[in-house]
Chains A and B, each alone.
Chain A
């Protein structure tokens, strides 16, 4: 079984620029999550999708962050414009079904905003 794919692995941008991250979940996983992990902290949920729909985006800074999941498969997370405090690892995870047996995380995208 192929894992959760994410790209790019690393990205360095200047503040006020825009950036996009891509995620392809495990085949058949209906639920997709984007987490932000700042150095020294635990992952924080940004947004949860169930198929095409958003289940929870309460912690997504909507003035600068956006996410979509077209056709219930791939997902893109965008930041525009980026701030210094957005420097973090962005993790995508997916899970199967309603019962949570634990997520599988992708390798993450490390974003540095300078």
Chain B
């Protein structure tokens, strides 16, 4: 079992729709959870982090965490073509602060 699992996609959504990206993790001791956006040929860029169960909203982005189910998700409201990128889920593992990344989900927002 991979430590952090994501559906590789591509996930295609129409412009203006809600995009839902999902991630599961295996380490029950994980404390911190992150979403990074990566455009093709660029390095990952942090967009959200969440530590506690529940929802955390930042503009058009909402991160959701359920530690009991070992599940974290990212919702993007009013999706724009500029949101087209690969979204990486990252989780602290091993009891420390190093991040383990999933393989990423490719999001395509279509006009």
Contact = CB atoms under 8 A, between A and B. Distances in A.
Interface of A: 31, 33, 35, 40-45, 48, 55-56, 89, 91, 95, 98-108
Contact of A99 (B45, B97, B98): B97
B96 A43 contact: no
Interface residues of B, number: 22
A105 B100 contact: no
Interface string B88-111: 101010101111111110000000
Contacts of B32: 99-100
Contacts of A108: 43
A103 B91 CA distance: 12
Contacts of A44: 101
Q: Which among A41, A43, A103, A107 has the highest number of chain B CB atoms within 10 Å?
A: A43
B97 A45 contact: no
Interface in B55-111: 88, 90, 92, 94, 96-104
A101 B99 contact: no
Contacts of A91: 43-44
27 contacts: A33-B98, A33-B99, A35-B101, A40-B103, A42-B4, A42-B90, A45-B98, A55-B96, A55-B98, A56-B94, A56-B96, A56-B98, A89-B43, A91-B43, A95-B97, A98-B97, A99-B32, A100-B32, A100-B99, A101-B49, A102-B46, A102-B49, A103-B46, A103-B99, A104-B46, A105-B45, A107-B43
Contact of B97 (A31, A35, A106, A107): A31
B34 interface: yes
A100 B92 contact: yes
Contacts of B100: 45
Contact of A42 (B42, B46, B49, B103): B103
